[in-house]
Chains A and B, each alone.
Chain A
Amino acid sequence: MVLAAAVAVGAVAAICIGPVNVPTSTALHAVGRMLAGTSDGARDALITQIRLPRILISILVGGGLSVAGAAMQAVFGNPLAEPGITGVSAGAAVIAAGLIVTGMVGATSWLLPVGAFVGALGATAIVQGVGYGRASRSTASLLLVGMALNSFLGAITAALIANAPDAENARSAMFWLNGDLTGRTMADVWMVVAPLMIGVSGVLFFARELNMLALGEATAQSAGVNVRLVSNLVLAFAALATAAGVAATGIIAFVGLVVPHLVRLVFGADHTFLLPASFLVGAIFLTSADTAARMIFNPVVLQTGTITSLIGAPFLLFLVLRKKDPR
């Protein structure tokens, strides 16, 4: 409850803060007029057409990526698993960028998340294939697979963009390489919300099974969990949530890593609580990061993905180093 309230407060604050600061009452009135269908176009445009969609997207995507990260950490039994690091986001991005650059779909078509989902699922299958095939689910091998996937898919995405027939398409596809929330519209929000919430709900449905996976595969299976089926379904739902996010914002790394760890530190590892809390904290985290991206070097605007990487990469380093400490 406290977290949900924090999301609301954070969202309102984020609406008001920016290169142009807007009084809270003005902002709320503008949103109210939009909901009532009586928007005052010119006066409210900054709030309702620029900031509100951007903030709604950051809430959805931050929450979705965090839940996807928590889910992947549980399934792979690996504290460093996360859509960006494992290459799942890159899988979604390569298909999405391909669809846009070749002009096959517009930037807000429903085909975009579907294509991204196919890409994310493909990357997930590769990561998982290595995990099962080698019987080595070590931290290192998962990160190596992710590194290989990220380089390979990133190269394809870059090539697609560089050779785009239409310069306008190319510019709009640039953000696939480093996530950005600039210029998101309400159409983007509507495109994202259904697949993302389905993905998140799907993961939440298996919270109890994710707890039991921590017992180890053999013990969980012997206690009655269909480990293979649950793992595949949870990864598919996580891929869906990731893909919906990537389709709207490009690759935003490290959110799915940082947020579940922070939540675990404060609230514990029980997934029935960890997953919803991760969604809310992820929403706050990305909204804050995005507001910071708009603000920090004002008037220089940093990409949102840059901010999350600036925070997330040192955090990853911290996790890797801490693992070596004997308990």
Chain B
Amino acid sequence: MSAGLSLTGLTVSYGPRTVLNELSVDLTPGRVHGLIGPNGAGKSTLVKAVLGLIAYEGSVTVSGRSLASMNPRQRARHLAYLAQETSSPADFTGRQLVEMGRYARQSRFAAMISADERAVDAALRLTGADAWAQRPVAGTSGGERQLTGLARALAQEAPVLVLDEPISALDMSHEMAVLCLLHPWLDEDPANRLVVVVLHDLSLAARFCDDLILLTPGRHGAVIAAHGTPDDVLTVDLLRAAYGIDVDVRRSPVTDSLSVTAL
């Protein structure tokens, strides 16, 4: 069994309709894996299945251990998740929100121990959320909230981090703030950690992801149309087939990564 996150024959059906059709892919540690594809291709369904929120056939394993056999507490120690937007009860401070990330590692009546404090501090520092950690989350901006949410996920200290369209509600400075954190976090423990991030912006995906998985809707549910480096996946032909429009793909002299423009 490989390290990292592996999907084998992952199939999800809503009633008679198959949404994901026998997806198999190995995601290796030390890399940022981008999940791309048109609307309705099943990216969110794939994320929900990996999180154990919906029933599926096939298997999802982290370091060879099946996620389906774990309870939510055990799963939370293997896999952390950041949603599109971070919500919080009105008056929790940033720090209190990040402390919630320690839930799966604490017993019911125990207070925060030093390991918890360390993980919370480290997550706040890495994301820069320590700057507003003492303020109520509801009073911070959407971008600050999302960085606080990312800190909460990181405080879980799970090797696999799953982000579902984490920047779709952010301005470009906060887009950068979130995406620029992924590699520094990976590099703290590249032999074990990996990131799966759902992105719509293909140029950002090319710039911040080491590998891309292109999901496309098929007659019998979504399939993986391509999996590889951005250079392998972001081709005019593959993107035309997936999105149904023509695109221009060229290397940006500024970022030295591919830039995709819809035509």
Question: What is the total of A-B residue contacts with beta carbons within 8 Å?
Answer: 77
Chain A residues in 8 Å Cβ range of B80: 222-223
Chain B residues in 8 Å Cβ range of A214: 87-89, 92
B143 within 8 A of A: no
- Considering residues A211, A217, A218, A225, which has the most beta carbons from chain B within 10 angstroms of its beta carbon? A218
Known contacts A224-B75, A226-B71, A269-B92; decide if A218 and B81 are in contact (CB<8 Å): yes
- Considering residues A218, A222, A226, A264, which has the most beta carbons from chain B within 10 angstroms of its beta carbon? A222
- Tell me the B residues contacting A by CB distance below 8 Å: 48, 51-53, 71-73, 75-77, 79-83, 86-92, 96-97, 100-101, 103-104, 108, 149, 152-153, 156, 162
Contact A216 B83 (CB under 8 A): yes
Chain B residues in 8 Å Cβ range of A224: 72-73, 75-77, 103-104, 156
| Cα distance A212–B149 in the bound complex, in angstroms | 12
Contact A222 B88 (CB under 8 A): no
Chain A residues in 8 Å Cβ range of B71: 226
Besides A211-B89, A270-B89, 16 new A-B residue pairs in contact (Cβ under 8 A), listed by A number: A208-B103, A211-B92, A215-B86, A215-B97, A215-B100, A216-B87, A221-B51, A221-B72, A222-B51, A222-B162, A223-B104, A227-B72, A264-B90, A268-B90, A269-B91, A270-B91
Nearest CB in chain B: distance from A205 CB, A? 8
Chain B residues in 8 Å Cβ range of A109: none
Contact B72 A226 (CB under 8 A): yes
Nearest CB in chain B: distance from A165 CB, A? 49
Interface size on A, residues (CB 8 A): 20
| Cα distance A170–B11 in the bound complex, in angstroms | 58
Q: Which 9 A-B pairs have the closest CB atoms?
A: A224-B104, A224-B76, A222-B81, A269-B89, A214-B89, A224-B73, A268-B91, A226-B72, A224-B103
Nearest CB in chain A: distance from B256 CB, A? 34
Contact A222 B76 (CB under 8 A): yes
| Cα distance A269–B48 in the bound complex, in angstroms | 28
A26 within 8 A of B: no
Contact B76 A218 (CB under 8 A): no
A24 within 8 A of B: no
Known contacts A223-B156, A225-B103; decide if A218 and B51 are in contact (CB<8 Å): yes
Contact B103 A215 (CB under 8 A): no
| Cα distance A218–B83 in the bound complex, in angstroms | 8
Known contacts A211-B100, A212-B103, A216-B83; decide if A221 and B91 are in contact (CB<8 Å): no
Chain B residues in 8 Å Cβ range of A217: 53
Chain A residues in 8 Å Cβ range of B53: 217-218, 221
Ordered by A's residue number, 28 sampled pairs between the chains whose C-beta atoms are within 8 Å are A208-B103, A208-B108, A211-B100, A214-B87, A215-B97, A218-B48, A218-B81, A219-B82, A219-B86, A219-B149, A222-B51, A222-B153, A223-B80, A223-B81, A223-B101, A223-B103, A223-B104, A223-B152, A224-B73, A224-B103, A225-B103, A226-B73, A227-B72, A264-B90, A269-B90, A269-B92, A270-B91, A270-B96
| Cα distance A268–B93 in the bound complex, in angstroms | 11
Contact B81 A219 (CB under 8 A): yes
Closest to A222 in B: B81
Chain A residues in 8 Å Cβ range of B82: 219
Chain B residues in 8 Å Cβ range of A212: 100, 103
Chain A residues in 8 Å Cβ range of B86: 215, 219
| Cα distance A227–B103 in the bound complex, in angstroms | 13
Chain A residues in 8 Å Cβ range of B101: 223
Closest to B47 in A: A218
Chain B residues in 8 Å Cβ range of A268: 90-91
Closest to B100 in A: A212
| Cα distance A93–B108 in the bound complex, in angstroms | 35
Chain A residues in 8 Å Cβ range of B72: 221-222, 224-227
| Cα distance A13–B80 in the bound complex, in angstroms | 53
| Cα distance A217–B72 in the bound complex, in angstroms | 12
Contact A215 B90 (CB under 8 A): no
Contact A219 B89 (CB under 8 A): no
